[in-house]
Amino acid sequence: MTGPRATLVLHDGTVFEGYAAGYLPESGVTTGEFVFNTALSGYQEVITDPSYAGQVVAFTYPHIGNYGVTAADEEAGRPWCRGVVVRELSELPSNWRSTGSLESFLREHDVPAIVGVDTRRLTRHLRAHGALPGAFGHGDPAEVAAAARTAVGTDGADFVSLVSTKAPYVRGEGDLHIVAFDYGIKETMVRELARRFRVTVVPASTSAHEVEELGPDGVFLSNGPGDPAALVEEVRVVRDLVGAVPVFGICLGHQLLATALGGTTYKLPFGHHGSNHPVQDLVTGRIEITAQNHNYAVTPGSLSRAVVSHLNLNDGVIEGIAAPEERCFSVQYHPEAGPGPHDARYLFERFEALLRTDTLEVL
């Protein structure tokens, strides 16, 4: 590694050593909430996923950057994560699609990184103690440690207003029209919707009345970052729309729909971040391998107006809910993938069937 020596310090005082890479901030210190992602590939999609706003992503796969980067793999116009932790960053990317190296991409978008870290040890620590705020950088180790002591996590934080689009835009030309709330929507998600519908993507601050004026056949609630409990106004808007129009939610959208239907949410110890989580459809018994990226989940037993439709087979977390009478459903995982398996893309067809038949066939 050719970068300057760097230090990573978690809020509990645990120290890791490595080398600075990517963007080098003048302060020499970067703070955020540290989480780990277990995907073996798709690092560019992970880094550009707006759901990572406020967080530092540690990759468990030891070799990152080997196939370079390409604009076609970006999930947003820019990365929103605070930084990246890697065991070994490839200096010689090789792929016919590649237009540059991962490190050059990080520098271009002002994303700091620390490499050469014992990511296995870091992952085991986060698994044992939960996602932790902390700091890293090439600055004075004492200053990095001081920043780690005052760093904060995502609890109670609204990052949605930061990452959401500032103005509506339209994609697709289908005969059905849906309004998609951008809480941090991924580009792959927009593409999957635009293949089937005419999609008006709107800011997260859009009111229920403004949605109704657009006359949609359905409403989509996207993924996004931060604590769903902090999004009181967004929940109120969803509550006003439920029953008036069919609704489909993914990830944060799932948590907001569950809250609107009487549920509550809680923070998972270290979240689900990866592309290999087994989820079972409780009706058919079918098991899907899914892509996931979330720190919060719906509290078991808290739903009063919906039923649980899917469960995570690793830890029993609620992965899907449905309220057929109110024509709405949602999943915690990512059926659009990007990266990850495509087992669950049928859910977009389920949404289309709901709009065309006015019947939710999940129970």
Tens digit of each residue's pLDDT (9 = 90 or more) over 207-256: 999 999 999 999 999 999 999 999 999 999 999 999 999 999 999 999 99
133, 192: one domain: no
Residue 360 is predicted with a pLDDT of: 87
Mean pLDDT, rounded, of the chain: 96
102, 200: one domain: no
In whole angstroms, how far apart are CA 184 and each of 85, 154, 188, 203? 22, 15, 12, 9
Quick: pLDDT tens for 67-118.
999 999 999 999 999 999 999 999 899 999 999 999 999 999 999 999 999 9
- The residues that bridge with 56 in the sheet, in sequence order, are 34, 83
pLDDT at 33 over 70: yes
Residues in the chain: 363
260, 289: one domain: yes
Distance CA 148, CA 266 (A): 24
Q: Is residue 132 within 8 Å of 152, Cβ to Cβ?
A: no
Distance CA 54, CA 22 (A): 18
pLDDT at 26 over 60: yes
User: ∠ CA 253-259-261 to the nearest 5 degrees?
Assistant: 105
Structure tokens at 356: 């065309």
Helix or strand or coil: residue 198?
Answer: strand
Quick: pLDDT tens for 304-326.
899 999 999 999 999 999 999 99
How many domains is the chain partitioned into structurally? 2
217, 120: one domain: no
pLDDT-derived band of residue 336, with 50, 70 and 90 as boundaries?
very high
Structure tokens at 18: 């490595």
Q: Read out DSSP for 233-257?
A: HHHHHHHHHBTTB-EEEETHHHHHH
Active-site residue (options: 45, 288, 319, 336): 336
Please confirm, yes or no, whether 334 is among the known catalytic residues: yes
Residue 361 is predicted with a pLDDT of: 72
Residue 13 is predicted with a pLDDT of: 97
89, 167: one domain: no
Quick: pLDDT tens for 113-134.
999 999 999 999 999 999 999 9
- The domain of 293 spans 160-357
Instruction: Answer whether residue 300 is part of any domain.
Output: yes
Please confirm, yes or no, whether 328 is among the known catalytic residues: no
Q: Is residue 189 within 8 Å of 172, Cβ to Cβ?
A: no
Residue 289 is predicted with a pLDDT of: 96
Starting at the earlier edge strand, list the strands of the sheet with 218-221. 169-171, 198-203, 177-182, 218-221, 247-250, 328-331, 318-323, 307-312, 265-281, 287-298
CA dihedral for 325, 262, 348, 220, sign (positive or negative) = positive
Quick: pLDDT tens for 9-19.
999 999 999 99
Instruction: Answer whether residue 171 is part of any domain.
Output: yes
Active-site residue (options: 45, 103, 138, 251): 251
Residue 362 is predicted with a pLDDT of: 60
Q: Assign residue 39 the CATH number of its domain.
A: 3.50.30.20
Structure tokens at 235: 């929940």
Quick: pLDDT tens for 242-301.
999 999 999 999 999 999 999 999 999 999 999 999 999 998 999 999 999 999 999 999
Distance CA 137, CA 105 (A): 18
- Percent of the residues in the chain that have a pLDDT greater than 90, as a whole number: 94
Q: Which residues of 295-313 are buried (b: 16+ CB within 10 A; e: fewer)?
A: bbbbeeeebebbebbbbbe
Q: Assign residue 324 the CATH number of its domain.
A: 3.40.50.880
Report which DSSP code applies to 228: G
117, 189: one domain: no
In whole angstroms, how far apart are CA 355 and each of 219, 231, 302, 352? 10, 27, 28, 5
Please confirm, yes or no, whether 272 is among the known catalytic residues: no
- The residues that bridge with 334 in the sheet, in sequence order, are 291
